[in-house]
């Protein structure tokens, strides 16, 4: 019996990449090394680890005349913050698309002689909708902005599908945060409706290659919303029209409740990838520990729709060096081994 396993996205960047603006040779060296090390873990699916993105959130943006400081501030549990810019005039356009990173990584893969599928993460439009200021913008309405945003987000995904990406996963870490900002759930509904407006632009076949990732927002070994009960989000998350859900799980305290909610609300043909490694701690999970998590999950999720992943990206913002690359790859290797061990045990049960 086969259990799918995939990475989420980001991996810690080497210090050489962070110290100064790197040249093309260094960028290629880092991406090739990342792909090579990920391949050596046994991972069947690869990613560039978002090595060249400034962050999972801001990669499409350029601080041109349309953006200014003073946008939404995201507060983390340990006291640090991440500040978004705000839009000051329209129209809104992406300065960069994720396909730029995908094609660069694809070239690096070919040079390494590695022939495995490559996936890429993109930012959900719900996150970028926070760029529009509450006070509005003269001659550029919120609805005009959202239409431009959806057009750009659609391009971001279509470029990747056309380039041959194995999967495209939307980062939706603001889902749980929205319930902290607005306990009524209205903001979450607004986010879900906006993301589904995007997903409605794709065919059912295309949506089978699309996924959504959610977690309580990991950064510098801290989170912005792990105090929001998961049960307030999960029933609504499965309203999204994608074929794959990547969910934080290892760091959640009430795992049986999480599994019960997945069993109750998962769309019949949707894959669920459970995070089995906690990216906010340096302790390396054992393959046996991961195996046991997946064996328990198999009681709630049909094995043909069950997958393993990591709770979150290891370094969603480029400057987050709280986890070493060595630890990240060890955790990924444990995930692969634990997933294979669970496969073997489930196969034995059915002989």
Kindly state the helix (H) or strand (E) to which residue 101 belongs, with its residue range. Answer: helix 99-112
Length of the chain: 351
Query: Cβ–Cβ contacts within 10 Å for residue 113, how many?
Result: 7
What is each CA distance from 313 to 23, 191, 192, in whole angstroms? 25, 21, 22
pLDDT of amino acid 348: 86
Which pLDDT score is estimated for 351? 63
CB 265 within 8 A of CB 238: yes
pLDDT value of residue 188:
97
- Give me the DSSP letters along 171-218: E-THHHHHHHH-TTSHHHHHHHHHHHHHHTTS-HHHHTTEEEEE-S-E
Determine the Cα–Cα distance for residues 112 and 88; give it in Å rounded to an integer. Answer: 44
Secondary structure of residue 106 in the 3-state scheme? helix
Q: Does domain 4-349 have CATH number 3.20.20.30?
A: no
Quick one: tokens of 23? 């040249």
The pLDDT value given to residue 133: 96
Going residue by residue through the chain, which has 351 residues, state the pLDDT in tens, using 9 for 90 and above: 799 999 998 999 998 888 877 799 999 999 999 999 999 999 999 999 999 999 999 999 986 779 998 999 999 999 999 999 999 999 999 999 999 999 999 999 999 999 999 999 999 999 999 999 999 999 999 999 999 999 999 999 999 999 999 999 999 999 999 999 999 999 999 999 999 999 999 999 999 999 999 999 999 999 999 999 999 999 999 999 999 999 999 999 999 999 999 999 999 999 999 999 999 999 999 999 999 999 999 999 999 999 999 999 999 999 999 999 999 999 999 999 999 999 999 998 776
In this structure, the dihedral spanned by the alpha carbons of residues 13, 216, 130 and 245, taken in order and rounded to 10 degrees, is 90
User: Is residue 210 within 8 Å of 202, Cβ to Cβ?
Assistant: yes
Report the interhelical angle of 24-40 vs 325-349 (nearest 10°): 30
Tell me what pLDDT residue 54 has. 92
Report the chain's terminal Cα–Cα distance, integer Å: 10
């Amino acid at each position: 019996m086969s259990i799918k396993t995939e990475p989420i996205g980001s991996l810690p960047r080497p210090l050489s990449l962070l110290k100064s603006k790197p040249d093309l040779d260094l960028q290629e060296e880092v991406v090739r090394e990342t792909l090579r090390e990920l391949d050596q873990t046994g991972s069947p699916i690869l990613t560039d680890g978002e090595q060249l993105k400034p962050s999972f959130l801001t990669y499409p943006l350029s601080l041109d005349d349309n953006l200014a400081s003073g946008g939404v501030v995201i507060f983390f549990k340990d006291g640090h913050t991440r500040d978004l810019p705000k839009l000051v005039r329209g129209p809104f356009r992406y300065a960069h698309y994720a396909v730029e990173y995908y094609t660069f990584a694809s070239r690096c893969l070919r040079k390494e002689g590695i022939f495995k599928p490559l996936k890429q993460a993109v930012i959900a439009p719900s996150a970028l909708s926070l760029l529009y200021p509450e006070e509005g913008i003269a001659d550029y309405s919120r609805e005009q902005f959202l239409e431009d945003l959806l057009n750009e987000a659609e391009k971001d995904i279509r470029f990747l599908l056309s380039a041959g990406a194995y999967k495209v996963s939307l980062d939706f870490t603001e889902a749980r945060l929205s319930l902290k900002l607005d306990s009524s759930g209205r903001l979450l509904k607004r986010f879900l409706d906006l993301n589904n407006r995007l997903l409605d632009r794709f065919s059912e076949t295309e949506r089978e290659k699309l996924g959504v990732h959610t977690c309580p927002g990991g950064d510098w070994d801290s989170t912005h919303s792990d105090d929001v009960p998961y049960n307030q989000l999960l029933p609504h998350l499965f309203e999204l029209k994608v074929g794959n859900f990547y969910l934080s799980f290892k760091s959640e305290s009430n795992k049986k409740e999480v599994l019960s909610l997945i069993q109750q609300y998962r769309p019949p043909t949707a894959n669920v990838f459970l995070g089995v490694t906690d990216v906010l701690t340096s302790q390396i999970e054992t393959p046996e520990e991961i195996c046991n998590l997946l064996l328990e999950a198999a009681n709630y999720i049909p094995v043909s729709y069950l997958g393993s992943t990591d709770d979150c990206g290891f370094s969603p913002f480029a400057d987050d060096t709280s986890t070493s690359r060595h630890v990240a790859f060890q955790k990924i290797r444990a995930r692969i081994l634990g997933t294979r061990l669970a496969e073997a045990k489930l196969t034995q049960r059915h002989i």
